[in-house]
Amino acid sequence: MGNKDNERNIYSDNTPELVDLAKVVEGADRIDPELFAKYDVKRGLRDLNGKGVLTGLTNISTINATKEVNGERIPADGELFYRGINVRDIVHGTASESKFGFEEAAYLLLFGKLPDKDELQGFTQLLGFYRSLPTGFVRDIIMKAPSRDMMNTLSRSVLTLYSYDNHADDVSMPNVLRQCLQMISLFPLLAIYGYQAYNHYHEGNSLFIHPPKAELSTAEHILYLLRPDSKYTELEARLLDICLILHMEHGGGNNSSFTTHVVSSSMTDTYSVIAAAIGSLKGPRHGGANIKVIHMFDQMEKELKDWADEEEVKVYLGKLLNKEAFDKAGLIYGVGHAIYSKSDPRAVLLKEYTVKLAKEKGMEKELALYEMVERLAPEVISSERKMYKGVSINVDFYSGFVYKMLELPEELFTPMFAIARIVGWSAHRMEELANNSKIIRPAYMAVSDIYDYVPMEKR
């Protein structure tokens, strides 16, 4: 057997022996679900209503999904605040002034206040200055052994940047701020160049690498880097800018931001922290959901005879819930959220501008189907499932559709999330360091029995 065959077996094949050993692992690790109730353990750090267990305090963002009426908290339309400012006002404000808002929102999250004109200009110029990779990095790192998964590519690039940083382990605030600003600037380059390498070496398509441009906004820069001709419309760039703002931050309790706090509390380096956050976001339960939405709708569009027939759509949604359609997971992707019940403010805002782009792209028929599912899904779910709270669409419902209209490859859907969320991760990392907190170490209760060691000859 040659080396190539050995390599394939080592890294790809599940042998019968491994399958048998895996069954042993599963048997040893499985815990009786009744024990979680017995010891009042909140699985996933959430109670039955989906409310997260309080594990920390933050100044960075606030999520509201209820309101008080007669001394009782009841579900309300969701609200999201960045440093106390409603994200709705940020999006509408930048749109009304015909400017790109990602940089302004990033300044707000990082520094705790809105910038004036000079502060914003200086901050934008600083991000542009950092929009440059080390000499040979694209050739030696990104182009070598390109991964089929762009999140893995992004993580590898981030960890490799550690080797180019003479102060990589310095956790003083000026140094960490510098590292964070560099990564905010570099994430579009790392993700898109990684995709171009994959698209060339694995898919056989032409390779093109556009040099970075410091003068472009982040949203414009992404479209400039990604498209062969570097051309885009103003509406395309503005809608991508809004997507980036809405994905930028969502409280300290989401999986990747909590990961950022946990890993930062060990006082490790910034690159290790951000790589850990990327690994968290990669999961389909977190950052990969909008791809599932797109695939679900693609299948739905093929199977429905009449996209405008409400009863036919209802039946199909029922099949999704009953594991009879699409991936048979029993889910309507893009519907439901751990916190929001009546509405996800990010989805509401995104839809406003999605309608405009759908008209520009001639995709009103597809949009109408999305709107029908948005309206019918909560009704179908409530009739099929026991609900502890209300259900509505989440930000993933329309974001994948937007990326599809922008002709972004699916391989970059989750990296786009990371390109935005690196701002929130950076803010949470610096908040953890600024408060000099203890290492985060929650308790786990051991429920295994105690046994005596048995010598080999007696087993």
Cβ neighbour number for residue 101 with a 10 Å cutoff: 25
Buried b (16+ CB within 10 A) or exposed e, 274-300: bbbbbebbbeeebbbbbbbbbebbeeb
347 residue type, one letter: A
Residues in a beta bridge with 77: 343
Which residue out of 241, 261, 396, 428 is catalytically annotated? Answer: 396
Residue 86: in which H helix or E strand, if any? strand 85-86
Q: Look up 396 and say whether it is catalytic.
A: yes
Which residue out of 221, 247, 337, 428 is catalytically annotated? Answer: 337
Rg (CA), the chain: 24
Phi, psi of 440 (to 5 degrees): -80, 120
201 residue type, one letter: Y
- How many angstroms separate the CA atoms of 133 and 183, rounded? 10
Beta strands in 22-155 (DSSP E): 61-69, 72-82, 85-86
**44: DSSP letter:** G
**112: DSSP letter:** S
First-to-last alpha carbon distance for the chain, in angstroms, is: 37
Q: Count CA atoms closer than 13 A to 439's CA, side-chain side.
A: 6
Q: For residue 378, give the 3-state DSSP assignment.
A: helix
Pick from 457, 429, 84, 414: which is nearest to 278 by CA? Answer: 414
Buried b (16+ CB within 10 A) or exposed e, 325-353: bbeeeebbbbbbbbbbbbbbbbbbbbbeb
Residues known to be catalytic? 337, 396
